[in-house]
Structure 1
């Protein structure tokens, strides 16, 4: 089975470290040179990659740290959604709508200070089993 690493581009590594450690109770693992930081405390390590706005992001685009949308984002599973939301907001996250309830649990959408979206999720007792169908 392949492993998983999560990489998040940020414009200011020090500010991103402060945000992610405060908002999600993550801790610093290792530092790699001046522009990469490993965060631990989730199932997969998260790497913050310092890349300035305007630098090449892909073949046909440059980095822009205004709020942006991507179909790939991180969901952080928490036990107490209300407390996690308060913590994220206090650290500088921007809420993107109200907390929503579903058969599988509750979800809150946020953006970090660098425009990256993420969600906080608290599963119900059955979690995704509440909506799962046999394959």
Structure 2
């Protein structure tokens, strides 16, 4: 089975590290040169990678990085024990909550944008979790 790691592009490594350690309680672990920091504290490591706004997203182009709010079909969801506390921490660190906190069959969820335009969710699962969606 393959391993999993998560890469998040940011225009400013220090600001990205401050946000993700403050908002989610992650810990800065290893550093790679001046443009990558590894964050731990989740099931998978998260790597913040400095990529300037306007740089190509890959060798074949197709789009350019932008750090205003943008949409992507892949985003991290962080499961938390206390959603209200996690929302307060995320907002205090600079996240912008998008919409109301949702009550769902599997628990409660709040959607956010980080200060760099990347989307993420916070989820407080109830005792059934995603099993609540099974018939």
The TM-score bracket by the shorter chain reads over 0.9
Aligned positions, number: 133
Secondary structure at the aligned position of 1:8 is classed as strand
Q: CA deviation at 1:131?
A: 1.0
Q: What is the aligned counterpart of 1:93 among 92, 95, 98? A: 95
Question: Deviation string for 1:34-80 (max 9, x for gaps)?
Answer: 10000000000000000110111132111110100011000000000
Q: Tell me the equivalent position of 1:19.
A: 19
Query: Which TM-score applies when normalising by structure 2?
Result: 0.97
Secondary structure at the aligned position of 2:57 is classed as strand
Query: Which TM-score applies when normalising by structure 1?
Result: 0.97
Q: Which moved more, 1:54-63 or 1:66-75?
A: 54-63
Q: Tell me the equivalent position of 1:83.
A: 85
Unaligned runs of 5+ in 1: none
CA distance in 1: counterparts of 2:65 and 2:133, whole angstroms: 37
Q: Tell me the equivalent position of 1:119.
A: 121
CA distance in 2: counterparts of 1:21 and 1:126, whole angstroms: 29
After superposition, residues 36-55 of structure 1 pair within 5 angstroms as 36-55=36-55
CA distance in 1: counterparts of 2:26 and 2:131, whole angstroms: 28
Question: Deviation string for 1:1-32 (max 9, x for gaps)?
Answer: 11001000000000000000000000011000
CA distance in 1: counterparts of 2:35 and 2:108, whole angstroms: 35
Following TM superposition, the consecutive aligned residue runs of length 4 or more in structure 1 with deviations greater than 3 angstroms are none
